[in-house]
Amino acid sequence: MYDLIVVGGGPAGLTAAIYALRKRINVLLVTKDLGGKTNFRLGLPWIEDYQVIRGLEIINKFRSEVDYLEFARHMEGVDKISKDGDIFKVVTKGGGELQSRAVIVATGTRQKRLDVPGEKEYIMKGLCYSALSYAPLFIDRTTVVVGDGDLALRSAAELATVAKHVYLVCETGGFLDSPLGKKLNVAGNVTVLAGTKVVEIKGDQFARAAVVQDPSGKKKDIEAEGIFIEMALVANTKMVAALVKLDDQGRIIVDCSNRTNVPGLFAAGDVTNTYAEQVLVAVGEGAKAALSAYEYLLPKL
Ligand SMILES: Cc1cc2nc3c(=O)[nH]c(=O)nc-3n(C[C@H](O)[C@H](O)[C@H](O)COP(=O)(O)OP(=O)(O)OC[C@H]3O[C@@H](n4cnc5c(N)ncnc54)[C@H](O)[C@@H]3O)c2cc1C
């Protein structure tokens, strides 16, 4: 029986695990990998390594400490988390069952993919899923944003503040009536391609063009230096969907101390309804969740 199980080894989970270790809690980190999304970094031909701060560099100390402390980690996916009385049961993919008095869920999100030829080949080579993180690197560059919803509109609007041109490819054009949509429609450096879809990504070493198709089936290449797929971020909450309260986007609802509606169950990082999917935000939320779990556990330690 553990005092605390942390599920997910990205910035939020790694930070939570290290904080718990420092508090001398009997903690186990259960995760599919160490580092989470910081293992990905967008490569751009005009950006040198020294010009950016890498997410992995920020959390590397935490990562290597957990890597070294073998007893504190278990490398496997989690299938289900349930609660029986005061005890949590964490069932892993292989069917193993772990028990603890408290749990922190820090399983992040996954990006909805386009699933077209060329997408996989150019992931993080000019094609990426986070304008929020990379828009400032596209000063005077031509970009394509793909998506129909709020995420795509916000990404296109942010890019439009720095980029030479932004093409917004939105198949249904559903959100174009919103204030942001109206703003994009009249912006001088934005072309809204409503009713079109991306059918292929082309390039050499890097993605160089999105092939778009209009409703009549006609295709054309849109050359760009950055292609952003901004369709949706899907929270990895399947393992707790039957246990905890989620918001309308499927994210775990937490209060400002990272508590969920289930006593003893905490959550941190992108998987929650906390504002902004960023490494430093996730690190801070992971620390808060661990301190909050510690306070919950204190009478039981
Ligand atoms: C392409 C891309 C580029 C980005 N670039 C930047 C950037 O430059 N700067 C920045 O600040 N932010 C960036 N971000 C955002 C940043 O990476 C995230 O906000 C941050 O990683 C969130 O941390 P997290 O710990 O909440 O989740 P994640 O990093 O997603 O980690 C989730 C962890 O949970 C594990 N996991 C998932 N499901 C399970 C399961 N069922 N069982 C066990 N483990 C599980 C995963 O293996 C992973 O270890 C970027 C995001 C993307 C997608």
DSSP string, 59-114: HHHHHHHHHH-GGGEEES-EEEEEEETTEEEEEETTS-EEEEEEEEE---EEEPP-
Residue of 56, 107, 128 to mutate, ligand 1, most atoms within 8 A of C-beta: 107
Task: Encode pLDDT of 194-217 as tens digits.
Answer: 999 999 999 999 999 999 999 999
Task: Encode pLDDT of 243-255 as tens digits.
Answer: 999 999 999 999 9
Residues 6+ apart with CB under 8 A from 169: 144, 145, 146, 147, 193, 196, 197, 198, 210, 212, 222
Contact 36, 19 (CB under 8 A): no
Q: What is the pLDDT of residue 8?
A: 98
Nearest CA to ligand 1 atom 6: 133
Task: Encode pLDDT of 222-240 as tens digits.
Answer: 999 999 999 999 999 999 9
Higher-pLDDT residue of 258, 150: 258
Cα(279) to centroid of ligand 1, in Å? 8
User: Pocket residues for ligand 1 (CB within 6 Å)?
Assistant: 7-13, 30-33, 36-38, 40, 55, 77-78, 106-108, 111, 128-130, 133, 236, 239, 269-271, 277-280, 282
Q: What is the pLDDT of residue 175?
A: 81
Q: What is the pLDDT of residue 51?
A: 67
Contact 268, 288 (CB under 8 A): yes
Which residue type sits at 152? Answer: A
* φ and ψ of 256, to 5 deg: -75, -5
Task: Encode pLDDT of 83-131 as tens digits.
Answer: 999 999 999 999 999 999 999 999 999 999 999 999 999 999 999 998 9
Arithmetic mean of pLDDT, 66-83 = 93
Q: Render the burial of 22-32: b for 16+ CB within 10 Å, e for the rest.
A: ebebbbbbbbb
pTM over 0.85, yes/no? yes
